[in-house]
Amino acid sequence: MPQFLNTNDADFDTRFAALLEMKREDAPDVDDTVAAIIADVRARGDAAVIELTAKFDRLSLTPETLAFTPEEIASAIGQVPAVERDALELAAERIRAYHVRQRPEDARWTDPDGAELGWRWGPVSAAGLYVPGGLASYPSSVLMNAIPAQVAGVGRLTICAPTPDGISNPLVLLAAHLSGVDTIYRIGGAQAIAAMAYGTGTIAPVDKITGPGNAFVAAAKRRVFGKVGIDMIAGPSEILVIADADNDPDWIATDLLSQAEHDESAQSILITDDADFAQAVARAVEAQLQTLPRAAIAGPSWRDFGAIITCSDLSEAATLSDRIAPEHLELCVADPEALFAKITHAGAVFLGQWTPEAIGDYIGGPNHVLPTARSARFSSGLNVLDFMKRTTVARMTPAALKAIGPAAEVLAASEGLGAHGASVAARLARLNADEG
Amino acid sequence: MPQFLNTNDADFDTRFAALLEMKREDAPDVDDTVAAIIADVRARGDAAVIELTAKFDRLSLTPETLAFTPEEIASAIGQVPAVERDALELAAERIRAYHVRQRPEDARWTDPDGAELGWRWGPVSAAGLYVPGGLASYPSSVLMNAIPAQVAGVGRLTICAPTPDGISNPLVLLAAHLSGVDTIYRIGGAQAIAAMAYGTGTIAPVDKITGPGNAFVAAAKRRVFGKVGIDMIAGPSEILVIADADNDPDWIATDLLSQAEHDESAQSILITDDADFAQAVARAVEAQLQTLPRAAIAGPSWRDFGAIITCSDLSEAATLSDRIAPEHLELCVADPEALFAKITHAGAVFLGQWTPEAIGDYIGGPNHVLPTARSARFSSGLNVLDFMKRTTVARMTPAALKAIGPAAEVLAASEGLGAHGASVAARLARLNADEG
């Protein structure tokens, strides 16, 4: 059974704090191994990547076979059943439609002193997307990473997706195709991250790397950060459901299990203002675990990290939610908009009982790459801006420089930076001379 | 003398590549020391911070004297001469006016399937700004870090600014005051970063930490990343000036020196399409170095890392500029807008000969915290969005769920995630039953 908490209990604060601090991930320290792999790839390029792929993925490659050929991609895509192709196409279309609205605007204006100011956004030139192999090879994640990059206008999109024992996922290749990616390397691990960051004879380096991965991939992304940009380092998935008694306990139980089935380290929490409903959901979860295909994963997640919190009212639920700062937040209450207005920190919010979180994983449109481990306090889900950067711009006229230059001289002097001041003073002297 | 390159030279590509790869910073590996300091602050809180401040800053504090009192701040501010106060106020006002325009918009719409979608931006609840002590204690940096946070709507703003031997900078306190920060701790180093990330008995933890610092501060920021958000880890400053022959060589020389005087590791590069102008600027730099107050810093920077590149035309200059991806870029040419249109990667651009980069450091309005070391390829200067996060939102109606839910079921099945599919299927079954 999961933990049961009640905000009226004397030990609630202590137990709730412990729940927040619970360490769910025991990431192995692979940093030394990863450092050696990166150094090897930087030194020996393709040869290192090929050796490491033979070692870790039991796959023999040459520089010529590192990437899937167009024929291999077309052939794999041809195997995808029409129903799956249609579903993936609808998902791609809806994700694109959502993210297109995130394209930022340039700005330029002239201020009262005559200074022209503004900024200009532009895409990164090249991005690399990591797609894990094996069980965690999710075509939906390809769409969620690649489409924002494509919408941003990234010129060159590369995917690295390991194919252990040579086994690839046709849906991943189709998702790449639908997202405008045609360069897909069948490599993975820290060696793939190093190859994308530094380049090899065959693999052109990129400027930004995103996508989930195991401990080796995460450590490699941390190490190449600075040389290239990276997205967040994602932790295990989480859901918080706030539900009143006017819900089907079976639906809420399934929603909780839809995070628990991701990973034994995932965390599912229910907050409700009705103690009977809390019990009903707990019973429903137990019942569903009897038949759930991935019960061997969802069960331990629910027992070890799950929690059901009974509170006095929905305002209290909102306060608790902000302390959790959940990755996913379902508001299954009569007036979800009113409750949403009280929420400050959450990655993605799902309003009302007709919006199960799984809709957001696949087809809703918003991104499913979201801040975990309470980082929704300070970060956002993956979005178009992650693949763009802003250049600021300023243009002074002589009049503008006369208006604001003297203050810059004063401040430069106060910071002891003589050339800073002189660069303004020389220009002002010319203006004064011209007028004299 | 700095390096002279000419794009017509046979060895240009090799030398330009070497210039790009030049290692300018030899950061000491202080990671173990920093890890120990962070662990100590987490374990012992105020006591550790006080001990470390006594050790590193030769300053004896108590929990009660960790922060400046309002009286101390008011007294220090009262010492600032009116001319400096006026300059700082004008800078604050202009920086605020620029950043207010960066406030993002929320969005909400209903798509053709009846799904309501959108996002909502919100500020981080609390941010901590690090301000170095000693020589690098720049009031302008206080404004550049604190004002975007204030404009974002951050509820609680904290500054940590070490005061070695108890010596504080009244202008830093005034800049904090003008930026709406009234909690200023006189602590620094890794202990200050740890205190802001984890909190102590006296110091409340924050969600985001920004600001420049030495190797200890940078290593500490890397270590607390994840627990809190951080800004970029800044490297030594850089400027690229693209100038045609129709410029005063003395002005361009001063502009180059205004970066070189920051730091012996700073880098100043001139690209020009006129070989005689190149020589004239080189002579002007040498002449100015005879009298520049900070020649002992600017001289080594210019000799070791400076470069003057002569190219064939301005299109070529733009191509080279994008490979450099400069932090600061001055376009001192007849038609700077036309050249700006050819530039893809730069942190901040200064258009025309009346816009010396120093204007941007102090008073222009755009931020002076900018991406260094070629990271303008993938990142932006500090801005209001760095202190905000975006929550996505989705709300399905029964009709919307019927329209797009089946595709989510198909994709969940293809990824082997049974509860994901079931969470949609259970709701669709109800809808079908209600209609039947």
With both helix axes pointing from N to C terminus, report the angle between A275-289 and A295-305 in degrees, rounded to the nearest 10: 150
Amino acid at A202: T
Which residue among B251, B351, B412 sits closest to A427, beta carbon to beta carbon? B251
Tell me the CATH number at B340.
Answer: 3.40.50.1980
Residues of chain A positioned with their CB less than 8 A from the CB of B421:
358
Mean pLDDT confidence for A179-184: 93
Domain check: are A216 and A277 in the same one?
Answer: no
- B177 appears as a binding residue in the annotation: no
Please answer yes or no on whether B411 and A84 come within 8 Å at the CB atom.
yes
Q: Which domain holds residue A91?
A: 31-104+123-230
Q: Are residues A277 and A337 in the same domain?
A: yes
Alpha-carbon dihedral B47, B48, B50, B51, rounded to 10 degrees: 110
Q: For residue A135, what pLDDT is reported?
A: 65
pLDDT, averaged across chain A: 96
Active site residue B177: no
- Which range is least confidently modeled, A27-41, A73-87, B50-64? A27-41
Is residue B381, in this structure, part of any structural domain at all? no
- B328 appears as a binding residue in the annotation: yes
Alpha helix stretches (DSSP H) within B109-182: 139-152, 170-178
Per-residue pLDDT of A102-142, as tens digits, reads 999 999 999 999 999 999 999 999 999 999 987 668 999 99
Is there a domain that residue A414 lies in? yes
B380 lies in a domain?
A: no
- Which residues of chain A lie closer than 8 angstroms to B140, CB-CB? 411, 415
pLDDT at A131: 93
Whether B415 and B309 map to the same domain: the answer is no
Q: Where are the beta strands (DSSP E) in A261-387?
A: 267-272, 307-310, 328-332, 348-351
Same domain, B401 and B423: yes
Average pLDDT over residues A257-267: 95
- pLDDT (tens digit per residue) in A147-176: 999 999 999 999 999 999 999 999 999 999
Q: Which residues contact B390 (CB under 8 A, 6 or more apart)?
A: A380, A381, A383, B104, B119, B120, B121
Question: Poorest-confidence range of A21-30, A297-306, A417-426, B361-370?
Answer: A21-30
Final residue in a domain of this structure, among B319, B347, B364: B364
Indicate the average pLDDT of chain B.
96
* Catalytic machinery residues of A: 327-328
Model confidence at A378, pLDDT cuts 50, 70, 90, reads very high
Query: Which residue is closest to B341 within chain A, CA to CA?
Result: A120
Q: Is A407's CB within 8 Å of B87's CB?
A: yes
Query: Which tens digits make up the pLDDT trace of A382-409?
Result: 999 999 999 999 999 999 999 999 999 9
Residues A64 and A154 in one domain: yes
Residue A400 shares a structural domain with residue A281: no
Q: Could you tell me what percent of chain B has a pLDDT over 90?
A: 92
CB within 8 Å: A117 and B292: no
Q: Give the model's confidence band at B436: pLDDT under 50 very low, under 70 low, under 90 confident, else very high.
A: confident
- Chain A positions touching B351 (Cβ under 8 A) are 116, 393-395
Which range among A2-16, A109-123, A252-266, B218-232 shows the weakest confidence by mean pLDDT? B218-232
Strand partners, B241: B270, B330
Mutate to test the interface with A, among B395, B402, B409, B424 (most CBs of A within 10 A): B395
Q: What is the pLDDT of residues B169-200, one digit of tens each?
A: 999 999 999 999 989 999 999 999 999 999 99
- Mean pLDDT lowest among A17-31, A64-78, B362-376: A17-31
> Are residues B430 and B318 located together in one domain of the fold?
no
Confidence (pLDDT) at B135: 65
pLDDT tens, position by position, B213-262: 888 999 999 899 889 999 988 888 999 999 999 999 999 999 999 999 99
Q: Which of B117, B226, B383 sits opposite A366 (nearest CB)?
A: B117
Residue B327, pLDDT score: 97
Q: How far is CA B318 from CA A237, B274, B326, in A?
A: 44, 15, 11
pLDDT at A232: 82
Pick the residue of A102, A351, A391, A404 with the most B CBs within 10 A to test the interface with B by mutation: A391
Report the residue from B84, B208, B423 with minimal CB separation from A410.
B84
Whether B375 maps to a domain, the answer reads no
In one-letter notation, the amino acid at residue B100 is V
The continuous run of DSSP H or E covering A218 comes out as: helix A215-224
Whether A133 is covered by a domain: the verdict is yes
Q: Parallel, antiparallel, or unpaired for β A183-185 and A156-160?
A: parallel
Residue B156, domain member (yes or no): yes
Same domain, A225 and A151: yes
Contact B254 A419 (CB under 8 A): yes
Residue A167, token pair as written in the block: 């086994």
Last residue of a domain, which of B230, B248, B268? B230
Q: Cβ contact (<8 Å) for A359 and B405?
A: yes
| Residue finishing a domain among B230, B258, B279 | B230
Note the pLDDT of residue B22: 87
B237 annotated as belonging to a binding site for a ligand:
yes
- Does residue A385 lie within any of the structural domains? no
> Is residue B435 pLDDT above 90, yes or no?
no
Alpha helices per DSSP H over B225-294: 249-260, 275-289
Do B11 and B116 belong together in one domain?
Answer: no
To the question of whether residue B361 is assigned a binding role by annotation, the answer is yes
Res. B75: pLDDT tops 80 = yes
Q: Indicate whether A198 and A275 sit together in one domain.
A: no
B176 and B251 housed in the same domain: no
Look at B111 and A365 and tell me if their CB atoms are within 8 Å.
yes
**Lowest-confidence range among A207-221, B80-94, B395-409?**
A207-221
**Whether residue B21 sits in one domain with residue B37:** no
The predicted structure's pLDDT at residue B121: 98
Q: Is B267 annotated as a binding residue?
A: no
Region B358-371: mean pLDDT is 97
Residue B27, pLDDT above cutoff 80: no
**pLDDT per position as a tens digit, A270-283:** 999 999 999 999 99
Q: Best residue in A84, A207, A395 to probe B by mutation, most B CBs within 10 Å? A: A395
Predicted pLDDT at A287: 98
Domain tally, chain B:
3
- Residues B427, A265 contacting (CB under 8 angstroms): no
Residue A378 lies in a domain: no
Question: Average pLDDT of A199-228?
Answer: 94
For residues B292 and B261, is the Cβ–Cβ distance under 8 A? yes
Question: Binding site membership of A for Zn(2+): which residues?
Answer: 259, 262, 361, 420
Asked whether B369 and B381 are in contact (CB, 8 A), the reply is yes
pLDDT per position as a tens digit, A218-248: 999 989 988 999 998 888 899 999 999 999 9
Whether the predicted pLDDT of B394 surpasses 70: yes
